[in-house]
Structure 1
């Protein structure tokens, strides 16, 4: 082993191999910070992705949960770490592109090097099965005759109907609830007219005939109910596209960043990981690190406008 290290060092010194190639990286476990609590959709899907990436990297990927601050505590911690590649974490759409417009944060999109985007959340617009509303057209007509109340746990979910209302003239009134489960319960109980949430909270109730899915509010249809159109399919030009992404503090060595990107890209292509995502109401999709940075920047600008127009942005 000592001879190999000496030879590698000599080759690096004379420029025949790069210093990055002269050592095997990573040499120890990688910490992956999840910005939400254990057991939630983000946590469980990222654990599946990390377990697959660990096989490729040949070192453990240790999950550490740092919930709080509406998902911003995790990125705040990540941005302050040493950029050695050993600490990365979840830099999902909401804490990066939405929440900075609503609460004060100490980080910006350019404070991170991005590993990539790994999976898209899916959202749907749903009513109680007993509702006379059978389609999105019915919902719009109802909203033009009187205000239609809808629940959601917050952005980006609630922006779907707020945007649809702006485009169609329908009046949709947002009633916030602390969690997705409570939002759905409000519709089940007849207290609210509609709800915009994810398959995790709603699919069993839809399949049991208690709720009706009118449309997917995401750019893609639900794989479980492929005949139900998206708002885009219906020509309304509205979609909510929110992703799970991974990043590390700005300044990671390019070779180490490439190693991380390659490992997690390969992990994302695993059928087992894709199955885990689908079971939790997400769609596995992939963006490169540079593509994901661009996606966040574009989303940040769009959310600035949308949140200001809907009165959800923080006062400046």
Structure 2
């Protein structure tokens, strides 16, 4: 009799468990009471590069808006794919998010990784980094015209991630300028910048925050920027378009969650990211890095990534056919 009563009590406790969880705020993957603990942000690049710097600015402001701690976890490797593959393995509960940009789409179409942007749920795009053609001071060129002349007589070794967006830019720019070029692979922009500073490569396509200190120190020079108009961060640097090169380069850094994350949680995060993007303090800090705020919500960012996926697939296919 005692055994039956014990079994009955166990059954009642198990049956009541979902009600107890609901009373305590629901399960961790639901939007009810989200967020109620620390969130992890995966940045799939080395510390110190443009993506890391801008990502940490986003996190600093998002923490204040969302009123919860956000821990940055750098997981670099293979052109940003190691970190994103790990993020995809994490629980889709809103407490695991990560940074993604066009380079991850390049890695997919280059055969480096099976995962692509659509394995995740886009939340928001937050910032755009203009890209600048940056050369070693040891190269002895001071302008785009001199760079082209040098590259038509010599091979220019670019530093960059072979499995990332620099591969596409180098191929496109090399063809546009009609120069002899080669891409030397590095894990991320931080490593490529270090190689340029040490004179191990001739040129890198870089963003302002990653290279500005080295330019100020005299290790490298900005000679052309891939924007439609000159940038306030480097007003003396001419655009490629000014020199008759109809070509632009830029990265949109956005944030995603693993596929299967509750749409209501995505909506909450989207709202918080938008609040950050509308902050004057955030805008000023991003612009001080030589970047700009380029907010896109869930739907717009999803459409943008879909279009970039189409363009990048076509470019990679043409490279592989050559």
**TM-score after normalising by structure 2:** 0.75
Alpha-carbon contact 2:158-2:183 (below 8 Å) kept: yes
Is 1:180 aligned with 2:188? no
Cross-structure match for 1:241 = 250
- Contact in 2 for aligned 1:82/1:249 (Cα 8 Å): yes
Partners of 1:77 and 1:176 in 2: CA distance: 23
Structure 2's unaligned 5+ residue stretches are 1-21, 23-29
- Specify the alignment match of 2:312 in structure 1: 303
The verdict on how the C-alpha distance between 1:308 and 1:204 changes in structure 2, with shifts beyond 3 A counting, is: same
Quote the Cα distance in structure 1 between the aligned partners of 2:227 and 2:137.
21
1:173 positional shift: 3.4
Change (3 A) 1:55 1:138: same
Question: Could you say which residue in structure 1 is the equivalent of 2:11?
Answer: none
1:12 is matched with none
SS at match of 1:140: helix
Q: Distance in 1 between matches of 2:290 and 2:101?
A: 16
**Residues 128/181 of structure 1: CA separation in 2 closer, same or farther (3 Å cut):** closer
Q: For 2:320 and 2:241, locate their aligned partners in 1 and report how far apart those are by CA, in whole Å.
A: 25
Task: Write out aligned runs for 1:213-252 (5 A).
Answer: 213-218=222-227, 221-252=230-261
Of 39-48 and 261-270, deviating more is 39-48
Alignment partner, residue 144 of structure 2: 136
1:211–1:185 CA distance, 2 compared to 1 (3 A): closer
CA contact (8 A) 1:149 1:194 kept: yes
> Any conservation in 1 of the 2:158–2:170 contact (CA below 8 Å)?
no
Partner of 2:118 in structure 1?
Answer: 110
Cα pair distance change 1:168/1:66, threshold 3 Å:
closer
Matched residues, number: 289
Q: In the alignment, what sits opposite 1:199? A: 208
CA contact (8 A) 1:147 1:173 kept: no
Q: Classify the secondary structure of the residue corresponding to 2:124.
A: strand
Matched, 1:120 2:132: no
- Structure 1, unmatched stretches of 5+, are 1-8, 10-19
Structure 1 or 2: more helix by fraction: 2
C-alpha RMSD of the superposition: 3.2
- Alpha-carbon contact 2:134-2:222 (below 8 Å) kept: yes
Match for residue 303 of structure 2?
A: 294
User: How do residues 6-17 of structure 1 correspond to structure 2 at under 5 angstroms?
Assistant: none
Q: What residue in structure 2 maps to residue 82 of structure 1? A: 91
Equivalents in 1 of 2:46, 2:140: separation in Å? Answer: 38
Q: 1:312 to 1:261 in 2, by over 3 A?
A: farther
Question: Could you tell me how far apart the structure 2 residues matched to 1:52 and 1:39 are?
Answer: 18
Identify which of 98, 102, 115 aligns with 2:106: 98
Query: Of 34, 47, 71, which residue of structure 1 is paired with 2:56?
Result: 47
